[in-house]
């Protein structure tokens, strides 16, 4: 197939998935759009090689993830933090599920980009440690520790999500009455 139309059909069929990935990675529509646009430009530049690969998708996603990672490192872009107090669940609303999901989204955006990327690759793209390691060119054990620390941070920010609401919380000596 002509490489041009080939690229066009890739964009037509895959840009939705790319954009979704970019959205969870960046947390904002504008940033996600920029990121995908830039990713596609990069991919287009070496399309001939990419098209010949077994999994062009995976490679393009890798371009995107690394682009996001590097950019964040360089510019230290700060995610707007309407933070503190605001995020804490109101007493009595600890188990408001929708509320804690909302918090989770925001807490996720506050993770350092490296951790966020690992979390997104695991829980959104459903990749294994080894696959993530390969994408980010880091060791599987680094993936592991980023992931563990990332989850710890999320847990610390949203205590309500540490355990299912159903198991209420008669742990830790709270059985007073």
Partner 1 sequence: MTGYVSPPSDGRDGDIHLEFLEQELVTVLNDFANTSPTPHFDAPGIRRHTRRKRAGFVAAVAAVVVAAGVGTALAAAGTGSHTARPAARTTTSTTPTTSTSTEKGNVTTVPYVKPFDLKGVPLAAAEEALAGARLKVGTVTHGVVDNCKPGSVIAVSPLAPTVLHGGEKVDLAVCG
Residues at the interface with partner 1 (CB under 8 A): 4, 7-8, 10-12, 15-16, 19-21, 23-24, 29, 32-33, 36-37, 40-41, 44-45, 74, 100-101, 104-105, 108, 119-120, 122-124, 126-129, 131-132, 144, 147-148, 151-152, 154-155, 161-164, 171
Residue nearer to partner 1 on the CB measure, 29 or 53: 29
Q: How many CB atoms lie within 10 A of CB 9?
A: 11
Q: Which residues contact 25 (CB under 8 A, 6 or more apart)?
A: 32, 35, 64, 65, 68, 116, 117, 120
Which pair of structure tokens corresponds to residue 149?
A: 């620390």
Which pair of structure tokens corresponds to residue 90?
A: 């109101």
CB 11 → partner 1: shortest distance, Å? 4
Q: What is the total residue count of the chain? A: 177
Residue nearer to partner 1 on the CB measure, 137 or 177: 137
CB 93 → partner 1: shortest distance, Å? 17
CB 174 → partner 1: shortest distance, Å? 14
Q: Which residues contact 116 (CB under 8 A, 6 or more apart)?
A: 25, 108, 109, 150
Residue nearer to partner 1 on the CB measure, 68 or 147: 147
């Amino acid at each position: 197939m002509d490489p041009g139309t080939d690229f066009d059909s890739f964009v037509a069929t895959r840009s939705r998935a790319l954009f979704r990935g970019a959205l969870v990675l960046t947390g904002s529509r504008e940033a996600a759009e920029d990121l995908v646009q830039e990713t596609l430009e990069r991919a287009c530049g070496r399309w001939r090689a990419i098209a010949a690969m077994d999994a062009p998708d995976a490679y393009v996603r890798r371009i995107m993830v690394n682009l996001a990672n590097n950019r964040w490192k360089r510019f230290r872009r700060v995610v707007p933090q309407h933070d503190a107090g605001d995020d804490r669940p109101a007493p009595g609303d600890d188990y408001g599920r929708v509320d804690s999901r909302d918090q989770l989204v925001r807490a996720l955006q506050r993770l350092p980009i490296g951790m966020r990327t690992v979390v997104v690759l695991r829980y959104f793209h459903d990749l294994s440690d080894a696959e993530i390691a390969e994408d980010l060119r880091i060791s599987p054990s680094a993936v592991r520790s980023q992931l563990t620390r990332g989850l710890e941070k999320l847990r610390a920010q949203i205590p309500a999500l540490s355990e299912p609401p159903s198991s209420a919380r008669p742990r830790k000596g709270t059985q007073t009455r």
